[in-house]
Chain A
Amino acid sequence: MSGNMNLTLKIWRQKNGNVQGELVTYPVKNISPDMSFLEMFDVLNEQLISEGKEPIAFDHDCREGICGMCSMFINGRAHGPKEGVTTCQLHMRSFKDGDTIVVEPWRATAFPVVKDLVVDRSAFDRVIAAGGFISANTGNSQDANALPISKFNADTAFDAAACIGCGACVATCKNASAMLFVSAKVSQLALLPQGQPERYRRVQSMVAQMDSEGFGNCTNTGACEAECPKGISISNIARMNRDYFAAKICKEEEVN
């Protein structure tokens, strides 16, 4: 079933991280409003292949808004015009026949371009490796119900843990700050009793790693929260800052 939308796409093409890129214009025809944005890209890529041109590289995997792989900056907004969705969940019914759509990769020093719309987000993994965990080796645990946790804390921790690590917050922030991402993990673990023993060490090492990766500072514009496809709240940033300053001002033993 093909549809009746005709669009003009301006897409960032860049062979690799060592060369300059540019926006290239491609017309696409007969797009159905029921297609997802990435399915529209599939159509375009089929068209390019049949013309003997290299298809556009873009990241995607689950195509249902949970893996955090897809990452397109569409008409100046991370994941496009609709709130609360990832690029893969965006459907063509959010656009009109005749529209021109500009698609670029995430832009941030800490996320260098790999090719076309694909960037390297491994900085996020390194931030987690620096402290985004609870040190509990396999087999060291007590019965799961031995430690009751209030529903409120469990739910709030879950809300923070819903982050998919896509990097839209970084791409959106004018300083390319990763505070929303980092604070979501810090908050999740700080809200839970299991996370207490390492609470202040964790926040310090994660923040140190974040800084060394070249992410910018947070100037509280709140743009990250507005563009986050999972609705991660900036109250997490406030929570992280409190823990961070508590850790810095007092010695570790005292804050614990």
Chain B
Amino acid sequence: MSKLNSNIPEGNLSEKWTKYRSSVPLVNPANKRNLEVIVVGSGLAGAAAAATLAELGYKVKCFCFQDSPRRAHSIAAQGGINAAKNYQNDGDSTYRLFYDTIKGGDYRAREANVHRLAEVSTNIIDQAVAQGVPLAREYGGLLSNRSFGGTQVQRTFYAAGQTGQQLLLGAYSALERQVGMGTVQMFSRHEMLEVVVIDGKARGIIARDLISGKLERHFGHAVLLCSGGYGNVFYLSTNAMGSNVTAAWKAHKKGAFFGNPCFTQIHPTCIPVSGDHQSKLTLMSESLRNDGRIWVPKKKGDDRKPNDIPEEERDYYLERRYPAFGNLVPRDVASRAAKERCDAGYGVGASKMAVYLDFAFNMDRYGRVEANKRGLQNPDAATIRALGKDVVKEKYGNLFDMYQQITGENPYETPMRIYPAVHYTMGGLWVDYNLMTTVPGLYALGEANFSDHGANRLGASALMQGLADGYFVIPYTIGSYLSNEIRTKNISTEHEAFAEAEKEVQERLNKFLNIKGTKSVDYFHKRLGKIMWDKCGMARNEQGLKEAISEIRELKAEFWNDVRVLGALDEFNPELEKAGRVADFIELGELMCIDALNRNESCGGHFREEYQTEEGEANRDDEKYAYVAAWEYKGEEARFELHKEELKFEAIKIAQRSYK
């Protein structure tokens, strides 16, 4: 316990950040030029951090495994980004965004970090617009907003269904500008495979050039991991195929504690699984719940086509159970409600593991507004629907196209079929207020860290957090560490710590190639995914988790005996890359189950079947579990030790979460 110091500044919650920011030690410009920072990752967090640190004068090296930094997984974010601008004059404020985030996270996040996030949220929008990010606008020329789950204000900024793409391209352009000026050295198609720690401080990384296959040593006065989330531990998720935990896991094994690993977000609206060949799941943005109503038939096993089921025979179960928030309840609540209906036999579609997301009602509502605007007298139903369809198309056209591509069905004519899928990981490397892990000089930003979202993340808050960390937090907080490093000369990569780390990596890679087993990497990944989804997914219980732990250990042994990785070390070898990632996922999977087993309560995305109210809502235990579980790696034998960071709620009265 004593090992964790969250370094939260003293003072009033709403003044902590302002005061801290103006008192944190500075590094003068001449010294900045001599300090090198390694940034692993070029998503929103990494690109924003790399660009900003370079603007400030630091020497930056940035790494990503894709062929271009612009392809980081942030590019896929669809729906939007939150900011407490209160442009809609609907009562939003920094406090309200802070409050919604703490409550949405089911009171398992750190107040000071979340308040800071809410404070800087507005600067992000200003910065993005200054970079030329084309966010959606109204006819008056001002920015447009929409609603997301778990809030009652409109604070989400967006760019059609491509918000992540546009924000990332903004950050990427800032990054490339620095690359052009020579202040950032970009290493694309490079994968970081080890952290180098010297005298207890992070001093560099070992990376593999994925094209030549060569291992490289890179020194840095500080190392920032901005390597994204680990949802792919479930094999099927909405994450990109390459998303992985490797960077974070290597850091964990070198001493960085892992925070709340079991907190996984299952997103309620994804396209359902269609068969065994499936390689990934596709999200249908939460923004669709602004205009789509979720329902199932009232009758079990009703096989009629959705449009043939009359209004009174439909169960709009979210509106029924949660009248105050309706279709816009937070994700964990919406996902569990969908699972509950399907498990009870009311599911739809061929697999019966789906519910409807229906736009007809709102298409007609918009259609009538449009008809009025055009002065049409008594328009017929078809005209209304056509006008409404255009409105919906403008808002979500690309998502509707994507749905039709994948399912072969036209969502303008028939409701979408959706089901929950793994989407985001709230857990990640434990960090203090400065975003530093338990290894001095090693930082974690964006989805890779555990902070800010507690046990459940609200929609449109990950983009906000990634950019907040990268643009507005780390550039200040890193000063508190680097100001003490100005006398540290660059350490030669001939240092024995570098040589040793490289040797470890080399041996491990050789090992993969030399097992020469019978099963592909994907075979093991799929098996791991199934264990995790069945036993550490949307619902968990003691027995299942115990089984999962022993099954994962067996799977690990089998993997290291029987995996088949073809090709060579010194060439472009995607199978070898995958093998390393899956080996790390297997170890992480075990820790996730251990964490889920330890947490004898239900909160946010962590639903333990033993701990629920009579109405089936999550039953939190604040007496015993109002803490962050930070796990320390203790080696193959002793495994993991739990450390607790107690969460103190000073500004918010901790209460049962209700969306009724």
User: Which A residues form the contact surface with B (CB < 8 A)?
Assistant: 1-2, 15-16, 32, 34-36, 38-39, 42-43, 45-46, 49-50, 52-55, 57, 59-69, 84-85, 89, 91, 93, 114-115, 118, 120-122, 124-125, 128-145, 147-151, 154-155, 157-158, 161-162, 164-165, 188-189, 192, 194-195
Partner of A130, one of B129, B140, B180, B475: B180
By the criterion CB–CB under 8 Å, are B575 and A138 in contact?
no
CA separation between A49 and B518, bound complex, in Å? 9
Q: Are B279 and A42 in contact (CB under 8 A)?
A: yes
Residue in B130, B142, B176, B574 whose beta carbon sits within 8 Å of that of A129 in the complex? B176
Q: Are B141 and A150 in contact (CB under 8 A)?
A: yes
Complex CA distance for A122 and B472, rounded to whole angstroms? 29
A161 to chain B minimum Cβ distance, whole angstroms, is 5
Bound-state CA distance A84–B402 (Å) is 11
Residues of chain A with a CB closer than 8 A to B571's CB: 15-16, 115
Please state if A142 and B134 are interface contacts (CB–CB under 8 Å): no
Contact string against A for B residues 605-634, beta-carbon threshold 8 Å, 1 for contact and 0 otherwise: 000000000000000000000000000000
Q: Known interface pairs A39-B279, A64-B76, A138-B475. Does A189 touch B177 (Cβ–Cβ under 8 Å)?
A: no
> For B424, what are the chain A residues with a Cβ–Cβ distance below 8 Å?
none
B45 interface contact, C-beta 8 A: no
Bound CA–CA A153/B186 (angstroms)? 33
B165 at the interface (CB under 8 A from A): yes
Q: Is B431 an interface residue (CB 8 A)?
A: no
Out of A15, A36, A61, A133, name the residue touching B173 (CB < 8 Å). Answer: A133
Question: What A residues does B127 contact at CB under 8 A?
Answer: 136, 138-139, 141
- In the complex, which residues of chain A have a beta carbon less than 8 angstroms from the beta carbon of B575? 49, 55
State whether the Cβ of B318 lies closer than 8 Å to any Cβ in chain A. Answer: no
Inside 8 A of B132's CB, which chain A residues have their CB? 133-134, 157, 188-189, 192, 194-195
Are B130 and A124 within 8 A (Cβ)? no
- Enumerate chain B residues within 8 angstroms of A128, measured Cβ to Cβ: 70, 172-173, 176
Q: Which of B135, B240, B274, B566 contacts A55 (CB 8 A)?
A: B566
Which A residues are in CB contact (< 8 Å) with B574? 55, 57
Bound: A136/B75 CA distance, A: 21
Expressed in whole angstroms, the minimum distance between the Cβ of A160 and any Cβ of chain B is: 8
Residue in chain A with minimal CB distance to B128: A144
Question: Which residues of A sit under 8 angstroms from B402, Cβ to Cβ?
Answer: 64-65, 89
Nearest neighbor of A150 in chain B, beta-carbon distance: B141
> Across the interface, do B141 and A93 meet the contact criterion of CB distance under 8 Å?
no
Contacts of A150 in B (CB 8 A): 137, 141
B55 within 8 A of A: yes
Nearest chain B CB to A178 CB, angstrom units:
14
Residues of A within 8 A of B172 (CB): 128
B408 proximal to A (CB < 8 A)? yes
A-B contacts counted at CB < 8 A amount to: 227
Distance to closest chain A CB from B424 (angstroms): 15
Q: Give me 7 other A-B pairs in contact (C-beta within 8 A), A115-B571, A154-B135 excluded.
A: A34-B275, A38-B279, A52-B566, A64-B76, A128-B173, A141-B123, A158-B134
Contact (A1, B277) CB under 8 Å given A61-B73, A151-B139: yes
How far, in whole Å, are A138 and B274 apart by their CA atoms in the complex? Answer: 44
How far in angstroms is the closest Cβ of chain A from B417? 14
**In the complex, chain B residues 107-133 whose Cβ is within 8 Å of any chain A Cβ:** 123, 125-133
Most buried by B among A124, A128, A144: A144
- With most chain A CB atoms within 10 A of its CB, the pick from B70, B129, B132 is B132
- Chain B residues near A93 (CB-CB < 8 A): 408
Indicate if the CB atoms of A144 and B129 lie closer than 8 Å: yes
Q: Which of B61-69, B194-202, B332-340 contacts A (4 or more CB under 8 A)?
A: B61-69
Q: Is the Cβ of B141 less than 8 Å from the Cβ of A149?
A: yes
Please, which residue of chain B has its CB at the minimum distance from the CB of A154?
Answer: B137
Query: Which of A35, A50, A132, A165 is the one whose CB lies under 8 Å from B68?
Result: A165
Partner of A120 from the list B67, B173, B405 (CB cut-off 8 Å) is B67
CB proximity of B76 to chain A, nearest CB, Å: 5
Identify B241's interface contact among A34, A60, A136, A154, CB under 8 A: A60
Give A42 to B595 CA distance when docked, in angstroms: 33
B68–A129 touching, CB < 8 Å? no
Q: B275–A1 contact, CB under 8 A?
A: yes
Tell me the smallest distance from the CB of B658 to a CB of chain A, in Å: 34
A162 to B240, CA, bound (A): 19
Beyond A67-B75, A134-B132, A192-B134, whether A49 also contacts B142 by CB under 8 A is no
* Cα separation A67 to B188 with both chains bound (whole Å): 15
Q: Does B567 contact A (CB under 8 A)?
A: yes
Interface size of B as a range: 35 or more
- Report whether A61 and B241 are in contact in the complex, using a CB–CB cutoff of 8 Å: yes
**A93 and B405 alpha carbons, distance in the complex (Å):** 10
The answer to the question of B51 belonging to the interface, with a C-beta cut-off of 8 Å to chain A, is yes
The verdict on A141 contacting B130 (CB below 8 Å), with A39-B279, A65-B402 known, is yes
Which residue, B141, B143, B179, B522, has most C-beta atoms of chain A within 10 A?
Answer: B141
- With a CB–CB cut-off of 8 A, which chain B residues contact A140? 130
Is the pair A42, B277 in contact by a Cβ cutoff of 8 Å? yes
Of A54, A65, A122, the residue contacting B188 (CB under 8 A) is: A122
Residues on the B chain within 8 Å of A189, using CB: 132
Q: Which of chain A's residues have a CB closer than 8 A to the CB of B477? A: none
B68 touches A122 (CB 8 A): yes
Q: How far is the CA of A123 from the CA of B366 in the complex (A)?
A: 45
Minimum C-beta distance from A41 to chain B (A): 10
Cβ of B408 to closest chain A Cβ, rounded Å: 6
B275 and A188 contacting across the interface, CB-CB below 8 Å: no
Alpha-carbon distance between A42 and B176 when the two chains are bound, in angstroms: 33
Q: Bound state CA distance, A242 and B66, in angstroms?
A: 34
| Residue in A closest to B180 when the chains form the complex, CB atoms | A129
Q: In the assembly, what is the distance between CA of A148 and CA of B139, in Å?
A: 10
Establish whether residues A129 and B179, one from each chain, have CB atoms under 8 Å apart when the complex forms: yes
A133 touches B177 (CB 8 A): yes
**Contact A64 B282, beta carbon cutoff 8 Å:** yes
Contact A137 B71, beta carbon cutoff 8 Å: no
CA distance A85 to B48 in the complex (A): 30
Alpha-carbon gap, A66 to B139, bound state (A)? 27
CA distance A64 to B571 in the complex (A): 28
Interface assignment of B564: CB less than 8 Å from any CB of chain A: yes
Whether B572 pairs with A32 at a CB distance below 8 angstroms is no
Question: Nearest CB to that of A92 among chain B residues?
Answer: B277
* Measured CA separation A165–B520 after assembly (Å): 32
Whether A136 touches B566, Cβ cut-off 8 Å, given contacts A36-B279, A59-B67, is no
Interface centre among A93, A138, A194 (most CB of B within 10 A): A138
Bound form: Cα–Cα A120–B210 in Å:
12
Which residues, 166 to 222 on B, are CB-close (under 8 Å) to A? 166, 169, 172-174, 176-177, 179-180, 186, 188, 211
What is the bound-complex CA distance between A122 and B189, given in angstroms?
Answer: 10
A129–B177 contact, CB under 8 A? yes
Residue of B nearest to A58 (CB): B574
A220 to chain B, nearest CB (A): 27
B160 interface contact, C-beta 8 A: yes
Q: Given the complex, which residues of B lie within 8 Å of A63, measured CB to CB?
A: 240-241, 279-280, 282
Cα-based distance from A135 to B137 in the complex (angstroms): 23
B355 to chain A, nearest CB (A): 20
Residue of A nearest to B157 (CB): A144
| Separation of A189 and B130 alpha carbons in the complex (Å) | 11
Instruction: Identify 20 residue pairs between A and B in the complex whose beta-carbon atoms are under 8 Å apart, listed by A's number.
Output: A1-B274, A34-B408, A45-B520, A60-B241, A62-B241, A69-B66, A120-B67, A121-B67, A125-B186, A129-B179, A131-B180, A133-B176, A135-B177, A142-B126, A144-B126, A150-B137, A154-B137, A161-B166, A165-B70, A194-B129
Contact pick for B131, options A46, A59, A133, CB 8 Å: A133
Cα distance, A138 to B564, chains bound together (Å): 47
B66 close to A61 (CB less than 8 A): yes
